[in-house]
Amino acid sequence: MHHAGRRIHEAVVEAKAQAGPWLRRFLDVLLPRTCGTCGRMLGGADPHQFCGTCWQRITRIVPPLCPRCGIPYPAATVVPGEIGHVCGACRERRLYFQAVRCAGRYEGTLQTALQRFKFEERTSLARPLAELLVETFGLFFQRPAFDAIIPVPLHRRRLRQRGYDQAVLLARQVAALLDLPIWAGAIERVRYTQAQVGLSRQARRENVRGAFRVRRPERLAGARLLLIDDVVTTSSTVNECARAAFEAGAERLDVLAVARSM
Ligand SMILES: [Zn+2]
Ligand SMILES: [Zn+2]
């Protein structure tokens, strides 16, 4: 980029930092589109805000892994062809979900994509992220095993702060791609909890205890549910959500998440 061009670019970036959401969206149109990971200019063929190379480099989570929470194991610990043994954390807690599976590791391109999707209103990322989810679904699950899709519920206060519910946006795309119904309000978050980041495993579990409530239990009775989340760490949030579903009589609940943070 030549000198004057760079100054205009910097001015737009600065204006963008101070602008409200609508103006920011307008300024996005003026800025040259560059890859969110490597900064390379994007052509019209790149469907999301990353170049094809960086998107391909997302670290996928593949077996061997814990059959319940899906945490990956170093390949050497498992006999080839085997999915893996149940991990220590899953053996010492009561599990309400059947299985948690994540598309990739929460790092690099996937981490940037999720942060933009969640905090910077890049809602157009819902589609490519949902495609990753559906690919992962195909590796571990079968569509006839489910009656409906449920997004991990967001507390109303958090929804007001953010203006949109990223789990609902993701779940809607996944539901469309898998041709399954979405029951968006079936479970609600009744307790406003602090972010799980930085908390110990035990503290995480206590932080989310009793956070969810099933709105119409008769609807969930006997249902086989697929819960959609963006990032999973210890699975304590999704396990608590599964507990609410289980206590309402759901038959089983599996979790499909975009990324696993280690
Ligand atoms: Zn790139
Ligand atoms: Zn586990």
Q: Nearest ligand to the C-alpha of residue 33?
A: 1
pLDDT for 82 equals 65
Instruction: Starting from the CA of residue 70, give the closest ligand.
Output: 2
Going from the Cα of 40 to the center of ligand 1, the distance in angstroms, rounded, reads 6
pLDDT of residue 7: 65
pLDDT of residue 186: 92
| Count of Cβ atoms closer than 10 Å to residue 88 Cβ | 10
Report the SS3 class of residue 223: coil
Predicted model pTM: 0.84
**Distance, CA of 35 to CA of 18 (rounded, Å):** 22
CA–centroid distance, residue 92 to ligand 2 (Å):
10
Q: What is the pLDDT of residue 1?
A: 43
151 forms bridges with which residues in the sheet?
228
Q: Is omega for the bond preceding 67 within 30 degrees of 0, making it cis?
A: no
Q: What is the 218 CA–ligand 2 centroid distance (Å)? A: 30
CA distances 73 to 59, 62, 183, 214, Å, are 14, 9, 33, 34
Q: Which of 240, 245, 66 is nearest to 148 (CA)?
A: 245
- List the domains of the chain with CATH numbers: 3-53 (no CATH), 55-62+93-260 (3.40.50)
| The dihedral sign for the CA sequence 146, 148, 151, 155 | negative
Task: Say what the pLDDT of residue 256 is.
Answer: 98
Predicted local distance difference test score (pLDDT) of residue 145: 94
State the pLDDT at residue 43. Answer: 76
Chunk the chain into consecutive blocks of 10 residues (it has 262) and report each block's average pLDDT, rounded to whole numbers: 57 67 67 81 74 91 92 76 81 95 96 91 90 96 96 86 89 97 92 75 81 90 97 92 96 97 88
Ligand nearest to the backbone CA of 92:
2
Four-point Cα dihedral 172, 37, 256, 205, nearest 10: -110
Question: Could you tell me the distance, in angstroms and rounded to a whole number, from the CA of residue 108 to the centre of ligand 1?
Answer: 10
- Residue 160, C-beta contacts closer than 8 angstroms, at least 6 positions apart: none
